[in-house]
Amino acid sequence: MLEKDVNTIHLITNNHTLTYTNSFYYNWYKTLQGNLLQTNGFTPQFVRLQKNAPETYKKIEQRLLAVSIVAFLKQLDSTDSFLLLTTSWSSGLDRQQPEKALEKYLTSYTIQDNDLRGINQMNADLNQVLIQHFPMIRKQDLRLIYRLLELQPLSKTDRTNILTKLNERAAARTIKLLSLLQDAFTLADASEQVLNDPTLAEYFA
């Protein structure tokens, strides 16, 4: 899915047509693309990648776009959408341990040296250019982002071993978002991996 094709994405619910490009999902993607991926304002990581490893950068950008589209198609609430988008872009901070790289980045974002304060201050900074604001993030939300980053590259067996240690509610939410994240990445990468939700494929043809 190329960004030039996103005008074709829409949903019909209760006789109303919802258009992706008129949604906060698209607005959030464009904000992250313009302010985080394409400038040094928040981190120089992605600008360096764009210059030195353009294929890697393009993959990160395409995955972020796909995640925002999947969130729209599933009509996720603002918090779950934000968690997926954050997991998506931060997976590009470090190939080996993106969860540790994100924690370090967020911890150093404010003088308080606290990752939760960091992510909420980052959101406040980005919200200055947003109509629908990024949500206030709770500690359990941030833990879920770290967990998704840890689980995403693992084998099914290793994922299961981690998920069985969670309580039922946390496990169910993790599995739901991880499945959507996997599908978005699969579609963005044009991979032959089987989708958890095959109905998403028609929007990325």
Say if residue 164 is exposed, middle or buried (CB neighbours under 10 Å; 0-12, 13-18, 19+).
Answer: exposed
Residue type, 40: N
pLDDT band at 195 (very low <50, low <70, confident <90, very high): very high
- Tell me the average pLDDT across 65-94: 97
Q: Give me the pLDDT at residue 13, please.
A: 86
What pLDDT, on the 0 to 100 scale, is given for residue 205?
72
Please say whether the beta carbons of 88 and 187 come within 8 A: no
Give me the pLDDT at residue 14, please: 85
pLDDT at 5: 80
Instruction: Identify the pLDDT of residue 2.
Output: 63
Q: Tell me the mean pLDDT in the region 5-20.
A: 89
What is the mean pLDDT of the segment spanning 144-167?
95
| Over residues 1-23, mean pLDDT | 86
Q: What percentage of residues in the chain have a pLDDT greater than 90?
A: 86
Higher pLDDT among residues 190 and 117, named by residue: 117
Question: Distance between CA atoms of 87 and 153, rounded to whole angstroms?
Answer: 12
Whether residue 21 contacts residue 30, with contact meaning beta carbons closer than 8 Å, is answered with no
Angle 199-202-203 (CA atoms, 0-180°, nearest 5)? 105
pTM of the model: 0.95
What is the pLDDT, as a whole number, of residue 8? 87
pLDDT at position 28 over 70: yes
Interstrand relation of 16-19 and 10-13 (parallel, antiparallel or unpaired): antiparallel
d(CA 47, CA 198): 34
- pLDDT tens per residue, range 99-110: 999 999 999 999
Tokens of 97: 């341990």
Task: Report, as an integer, the average pLDDT of 162-169.
Answer: 94
Residue 55: predicted pLDDT? 95
Question: What gap in Å lies between CA 179 and CA 174, rounded to an integer?
Answer: 8
- Taking only the tens place, the pLDDT of each residue in 44-62 is 999 999 999 999 999 999 9
DSSP string, 42-53: S-SHHHHHHHH-
Backbone region of residue 84 per phi and psi (left: phi > 0; alpha: psi in -120 to 50; beta: other values): alpha
**Is the pLDDT score of 72 beyond 60?**
yes
Question: Does the pLDDT at position 173 exceed 90?
Answer: yes
